[in-house]
Amino acid sequence: MRRSNLGKFLLLCCIFSPVAPEIVAPNALELRITTNVTHEIPSTLFGYMWEDINHRSGFNIGKTRPSLLLTVKTTAPMAVSTNRAFQGVIPGTQNALYAWQSYNGARLSVTSKTEGVSDALPNSLEVKIPKAVSGPIGFENTGYWGIKVQEGWAYKGSLYAKSDSYNGPITVSLKSARGTTFASQTLQGISNSWKKFTFEFEPKVSAPNDNNVFSVVLDGKATAGKTLHFGMFSLFPPTFKGRENGMRIDLAQLFVDTDPGVFRFGGNNVEGSSWDGRWKWNETIGRLEDRPGRIGDWNYPNTDGVGLMEYLNWAEDIGAELILGIWAGISIQNYSDFATWPVVPEADLQPYVDDVLNEIEFIVGDTSTQWGSVRASLGREEPYALRLIEIGNEDNFQADSYAAYRWQAFVDAISAKFPQMEFIATTLPSTALNPPYKRIDFHQYNSPSWFKANAFFFDSYPRNQTKWFIGEYAVTSTNDSNALGTLDQGRLQYPTLLGSVAEAAFMTGLERNSDVVFAAAYAPSFQNIHEFQWTPDIVTFDASRLARSTSYYMFSVNKGTHSLATSPTPSNDTAPLFWSASYNNESDVVFLKVANTGEQDLVANIFLDFPSTGHIHAVTLATPPLTAVFGQFNTSNTLEEPDLIIPVPFSAAIPILDKFNYTFPATSVTVLTVQSPKLVV
């Protein structure tokens, strides 16, 4: 994913066919689903990509990580506090106190003049208590734009504290912004050296809204005129599957519910604006206290609370195959002048190749290896599963060095040590590589017209053993000539039904040609509504709410194992209906997935070359009749109205077992299922 608007758009549009005018289908389509199997469908076909963007991997509540303290801004899924360890800030500035506020007059500042909690975390919060004070005094953290307080949840927290002049109690609590206390605990034992304090909150009532804070309070009289230091705060509600430092349950469950086949992490955010500023895998493992964090490529600090092992665990937890994106020797600078990008010269590349070999050994090495033993020391003896490695990210922007030496250096070295690995190239398909690529990652953000016009691209693609990964795709705009512009230029704030149906038309082509396309991932996945760098996104959330977009639903949960031929094969002549047919040999179900991109309902007479059980089932995504949004195809689901457009089920008996007719609503996606126990594949 790139911030460039024009360069990428023009470059990638040349690969596929131009936008064609829509051809109106006849009123009734005669469609036959045959028993002819064209190919097996890979289990990896539909899934997700993950990149630290839109504050979705931060380390506190309000992120996809549930840490509740605003940790300056990261993308972990469930921490509660923001700016928890003062990473990526300038000590002594007001901005360094982002999300922290004084309570009753305490003077707060971020300092590096006292020894930090660890070498990786040199900054700490300095709290000076005025000499004249009475009553409680301290400070608060406002979370990731709010904190959800839920009755029955157990919130686990910790902080570091020290003081040369105070050794009394510290009270920590979850409170409303108006002062209502939901849970609290008193900590004892502060001294002149750093000490980690742990605590747990169990609120007896839920807060009516997210306008809540994490509070640290001292007795004003006992602390008057004294100074204390605090560092490395953490506060988590329950996490997905109970993982320590884990994911926010509701957001993680969204991934699980779609049964994703693949999970790619890496992307733009691994590269950094300099070689030293790249994502360094070995600085994201181990104790949180030992993770220095970095300024991410989307211009906010990343705590790396979601590090390599968290990504690996998450891929396992959602049941998806991992695609590991590795740093391949470039960093990003000015998108209008690619000559400004730092590219590692061939003579200097080997240390970075070695670093990748160490990363892979950490993932798949047994405990007798150096990095496999490190993984075991962190609680994971069993190697992780890894087969697919992506060399770089969007290297079409630096194709010359990629083709000259970077691709080969990484592929040759990894193949020599890990011969089981398979590689994905990230430059343009037309770029000749040595060794030749067998898999390639292609990204496309565009208008609905583009996705409809290119739904048939892979129908005629040569079957030459090359496999495609559509690693990032989405309808981003209604503007055919500027798909990455601003909102007033047609850029979408949220996915719309119109865009989602166009994506579905394209996806029928991916499934129908999944002998060539082995994986695809909508991008980006999550967006924190309070601060984001990219629109649209498949899921939008805040501290307590979420909204599934219209692009979230349908395809991946209706998986066939084998693609079936139809007559006719979809083409421009059958637009605006687009479809793919498949069979699942485990459930004996035939799927027919249909996108109607037109503005009229269309009827199809469907014939089966196999007997059914006499019932059909359908799920349709469309504007619901008898509602205010009926026929308004630019409608979106939002946090305020998260269920405007949702899949609607339908079931019916068919009197003739091998044929029926069906009406596909205007601008809709429909998945028809037919049980056929006698169909043998």
Residue 13 domain-assigned (yes or no)? no
In the chain, the amino acid numbered 161 is: A
Quick one: 111 and 198 in the same domain? Answer: yes
Containing structural domain, residue 253? 249-522
Asked whether residue 477 is assigned to any structural domain, the reply reads yes
> Measured between alpha carbons, how far is 511 from 566 in angstroms, rounded to an integer?
13
Cα separation of the two ends of the chain: 39
Burial pattern 430-439, b for ≥16 Cβ within 10 A else e, equals ebebeeebeb
Helix (H, G, I), strand (E, B) or coil at 575: coil
Across-strand partners of 80?
Answer: 68
Contacts of 175 (CB under 8 A, 6+ apart): 140, 181, 182, 212, 213, 215
Closest CA to 157 of 129, 190, 195, 185: 185
507 CB-contact burial (10 Å; exposed 0-12 / middle 13-18 / buried 19+): buried
- Mapped onto helix, strand or coil, the DSSP state of residue 583 is strand
Q: What are phi and psi of 513, to 5 degrees?
A: -115, 35
DSSP per residue, 610-638:
S---SEEEEEEESPPTTSTTTT-TT----
Q: What is the pTM of this model?
A: 0.90
Q: Is residue 82 part of a domain?
A: yes
206 and 273 together in one domain: no
- Over the chain, what is the mean pLDDT? 88
Residue-wise pLDDT tens digits, 316-345: 999 999 999 999 999 887 777 878 888 999
Nearest to 287 by CA among 170, 386, 160, 139: 160
Shared domain for 226 and 122, answered yes or no, is yes
DSSP-derived secondary structure letter, 551: T
User: Do 467 and 336 belong to one domain?
Assistant: yes
Task: Single out the residue of 222, 105, 103 nearest to residue 166, CA to CA.
Answer: 222
Residue pair 409/326 in contact by the 8 Å Cβ criterion: no
| DSSP label of 405 | I
Same domain, 351 and 448: yes
Q: Is residue 21 part of a domain?
A: no
Residues 619 and 510 in one domain: no
Q: In CATH, what number is assigned to the domain containing residue 612?
A: 2.60.40.1180
User: What φ, ψ does residue 88 adopt, rounded to 5°?
Assistant: 70, 25
Task: Please tell me the predicted confidence (pLDDT) of residue 527.
Answer: 84
- Longest Cα–Cα distance of the chain, Å, equals 89
Domain boundary among 501, 522, 543: 522
Q: How many whole angstroms separate alpha carbon 575 and alpha carbon 24?
A: 6
| Same domain (yes/no): 202, 75 | yes
- The CA angle 360-363-368, to the nearest 5 degrees, is 95
Angle at 633 between CA 632 and CA 637, to 5 degrees: 95
CA distance 549 to 452: 20
Task: Answer yes or no: is 493 within a domain.
Answer: yes
- CA distances to 81, 379, 541 from 309, rounded to whole Å, are 21, 10, 24
Tally DSSP H helices, then E strands, for the chain: 10, 34
Q: What is the CATH number of the domain that holds 364?
A: 3.20.20.80
Tally of domains within the chain: 3
CATH number at residue 153: 2.60.120.260
DSSP letters of 176-194? ETTS-EEEEEEE----SS-
Q: What is the pLDDT of residues 116-131, one digit of tens each?
A: 999 999 999 999 999 9
pLDDT < 50: residue spans in the chain:
3-26, 54-66, 70-78
Please name every residue paired with 82 in a beta bridge, in sequence order, or none if there are none. 70
pLDDT tens column, 360-396 = 999 999 999 999 999 999 999 999 999 999 999 989 8
Q: Do 228 and 218 form a contact (C-beta atoms < 8 A)? A: yes
* Beta-strand pair 301-302/294-295: antiparallel
Q: Please check whether residues 295 and 231 belong to one and the same domain.
A: no
Shared-domain flag, residues 123 and 216:
yes
Amino acid 37: pLDDT:
95
Helix or strand or coil: residue 507?
helix
The answer to whether residues 23 and 575 touch, using CB atoms and an 8 Å cutoff, is yes
Judge if 285 and 303 occupy the same domain.
Answer: yes
506 and 559, same domain (yes or no): no
Neighbours of 599 (CB within 10 A): 12
Residues 33 and 89 in one domain: no
In a domain, 19, yes or no: no
Residue 540 within any structural domain of the chain = no
At 210, the amino acid letter reads: D
How confident is the model at residue 484, as a pLDDT? 85
Q: How many CB atoms lie within 10 A of CB 209?
A: 13
Please identify, among 502, 522, 542, the residue that sits at the C-terminal boundary of a domain: 522
Answer yes or no: is 1 within a domain.
Answer: no
